[in-house]
A and B are shown apart, each in its own frame.
Chain A
Amino acid sequence: MAKTILIVDDSASLRQVVSIALKGAGYETLEACDGQDGLNKLKGQKVHLIISDVNMPVMDGITFVTELKKLPEHRFTPVIMLTTEAGDSMKQRGQAAGAKAWVVKPFQPAQMLTAVTKLVMP
């Protein structure tokens, strides 16, 4: 069965590009537009990996990961943070919250795929 990946980002175009790349590689994808939406989408759903932006309206990525780590059924799910190049401190905050993987924006779909396959094979 294909592995499911949740993409949390407020940019619809980014979600689409990533989603297309991941589907092409044989993953299933889910999309959410912010952290709160992400938590909602996770309810009763098994996902193998989460890709989340940091700066988002409603609930930012750091809070999202912090909340995620409190959910018994999802706390072992790996998270890839999308950081900007200047956001080294943000990366550290993300790591402290429990998101140990990251991809620096802007990225090529292939780079994202590489990061994803390190964590979850399709």
Chain B
Amino acid sequence: MSTDDVLQTFVAEARELLLGMEDSLLALERDPRDGEAISATFRAIHTIKGSAGLFSLDQLVAFAHVAETLLDLVRDGRVAVDGDLIALLLECSDYLGFLINQIAGEEVADAATQEARRPTLLARLQACIASSVAPSASQAESPRQAPPSAVPAAGEVADPVHNDAWHISLRFGPEVLKNGMDPASFLRYLGTLGEIAHITTLWQQMPAPEAMDAENCYLGFELDFRSEASREAIDSTFDFVRDDCRITLLPPRSSIDDYLKLIAEAPEGLERLGEILVASGALSQAELERALERQRQAAPPALGEMLIQEDGIPAPVVQAALEKQAKGRENRSAATRFIRVDAEKLEDLINQVGELVIAGASATLLSQRSGDTALIEAMAQVGRHVEEIRDRALSLRMVEIGESFNRFPRVVRDVSRELGKDIELVITGAETELDKTVVEKIGDPLMHLVRNSMDHGIESIEERLARGKPAQGRLSLHAYHESGSIVIEVADDGGGLKRDKILAKAMDRGLVAPGQALTDRDVFNLIFEPGFSTAEQVTNLSGRGVGMDVVRRNISALRGSIDIESQEGVGTTMRIRLPLTLAIIDGFLIQVADSAFVLPLDLVQECMELPDGERLQSRGQSSHYLDLRGEALPCLRLRNLLNLEGESSQRENVVIVQYGNRRAGLVVDRLLGEFQTVIKPLGQIFRHLRGFSGSTILGTGEVALILDVPTLVHDASGREARLLGESNAGQAIGSEQPA
């Protein structure tokens, strides 16, 4: 492995870390006390700096070092977390991303501008570092601990108390003894880390003897502790009882407000604990009185807040947050079990498996011709294994769509600020898997749709309030699997598409003939036409009419489709449907005249023989309707549609396919059954053929075309609407006659 390869690994790793850092920063923005998010941010920068050092990337190291210094202070609670800090760190992350792009040797368009940001960013980082407070107003790190009071932005700790010892407040839970934990053992251990200057045992929680359970623990302690040990070391003493206990750690010279909070939360009652603290020397009488005075003044709001922090949070919310955190941790540690493999190697493997599938099909065919039962059985066995290997190989390339989604929280945050809107992003189904190549290519179209929804979909706050909607708009990204496809929805609860406006504009542009009857779906799809834009004002985000057509083109290039559902005043849902993989699929082989075609098996619903009566009636037409158990099913007769000549068979069959919520029947001569299909792209000349999505090689060595079911279904079911439109407009476009 050359240094260059390792550098690539570094680049990939650094990008991942930056993404993770962005996530953490956004989490921090929601909850500035999120200790885990602070640590994660710190770790990201720390790791990037460390690895960059190995490659002598001095520029990067120097910058990361300053950011790391600041984050270290933030972690110690010496620099307050606020909006400005997060904005600054996000900008730093962007700048680091730029440096990494340069290291990766990528062309960076505005390199000069980016580079010009460096001195400003460094100056701002230094300013934040300079504003740090003395190393005492530490923030609580564990969620079990009492939430710390707001740390002052600059200067000294607000109103520090005089004593120079740690104050540790412990309330052991009733289960501690049953769990084999002896409170005394922790105190003894603490004694090895420093000197317990003062200890008060609290036994007030102990019930009357008759109500007491001898196996329960009712004790609490207030300790004053002199030690040179780090906060982490002191804190870790209680690792094993943290879940069952209330532990509050106040560093030396904490602010009086921290003590106040401790007193307010004490189950023993305010006065009682105050006395204890004075008696132990943690607080002077004067400090206690000052604290109580402040408590009285600020009582209503402050106490209310405390109650909300302590009790007011609904249990399910806390539970969900904990589970999420736990999952995040699991994911992170799982990462260590991954192996990084060059994507090209996987590509090669999948191509080889493709060849194996084709060769296997040919061998199976030969075995069947030979009529040798043993051989046929052996080949069937081989076939099953090949199928297994195919699935495994393809699954190697499957990644969670979350990878595409995780850049959106940042985008939504930035854009909604820019637009002055309040938008919440909800992501569901991030664990849905699809082909890596698709994930990579879907990012840009998704980005466009998301921006579009935020800009045009979701109304301004005033408008929303006027319509009786909540001020906060909601944008959701939702992914799920549906019969061989992955569906990605971008939905907003905004104003919805305005049908009349779109139609007027389309007529204006000559996209629609006057009087032409169009379904809602058709009208909405007009926004994907090149050069179409209804935005009254062009913002710098969207509205220039470039994009939506590009979105559709990009999605079509992935053999996917996009669909719009919208209700005026309620919202819009853009639904992207993509094939799960672009390499090998389970196909269904059919024959029309002398040619074989493949349909993706996932889209095939059922097959039936075409009734004789229907046959005679429909002969010679490329499309007609079939009565399928009472449902009018649009049918396409492939023989006529594709102009295939050749002997017609005695019987014809209908293959019923479904795509999205539309169904259609395809009339074919013979059903040849399942077939493992290695998709080969069509040559340049055939790219624009409508109705075909690729080709494949059969066991006989012949080429079969893969039918593009979405297009066929669309054509079949759209025909009716079009015909209606034509007759209304009094003009005939197509050559077919209505059935």
Contact = CB atoms under 8 A, between A and B. Distances in A.
B244 interface: yes
A103 to B, nearest CB: 10
A98 B175 CA distance: 10
A44 B371 CA distance: 73
Contact of B180 (A77, A92, A121): A77
Given A76-B180, A88-B326, A100-B244, A118 B333 contact: no
A100 B330 contact: no
Nearest to B328: A88
Give the 7 A-B CB pairs with smallest separation, nearest first.
Answer: A78-B180, A101-B240, A100-B179, A86-B333, A118-B189, A85-B333, A88-B330
B188 interface: yes
Contact of A117 (B180, B192, B330): B192
B449 to A, nearest CB: 36
Nearest to B176: A100
Interface of B: 177-182, 185-186, 188-189, 192, 237, 239-241, 243-244, 326, 329-330, 333-334, 336-337
B333 A88 contact: yes
Contacts of B333: 85-86, 88
Nearest to A50: B180
A119 B237 CA distance: 10
A78 B184 CA distance: 13
Contacts of B186: 118
A95 interface: yes
Contacts of B237: 118
Given A75-B178, A100-B180, A121 B188 contact: yes
Given A78-B179, A98-B180, A100-B179, A86 B240 contact: no
A119 B182 contact: yes
Contacts of A101: 181, 239-240
A92 B323 CA distance: 11
Nearest to A69: B178
A78 B181 contact: yes
Given A78-B180, A79-B180, A100-B241, A88 B329 contact: yes
Interface size on A, as a range, is 20 to 34
A89 B326 CA distance: 8
Identify the interface centre among A88, A92, A118, A120: most chain B CB within 10 Å of its CB: A118
Nearest to A86: B333
Interface string A107-122: 0000000010111110
A119 B178 contact: no
A119 B329 contact: no
Contacts of A95: 243
Contacts of A77: 180
A121 B185 CA distance: 7
18 contacts: A75-B178, A78-B180, A78-B182, A85-B333, A85-B336, A86-B334, A86-B336, A100-B243, A101-B181, A101-B240, A118-B189, A118-B237, A118-B240, A119-B180, A120-B182, A120-B185, A121-B185, A121-B189
Contacts of B177: 76
A98 B179 CA distance: 6
Contacts of B329: 88
Contacts of A118: 185-186, 189, 237, 239-240
A97 B330 CA distance: 20
A75 B188 CA distance: 22
B353 to A, nearest CB: 30
Contacts of B241: 100
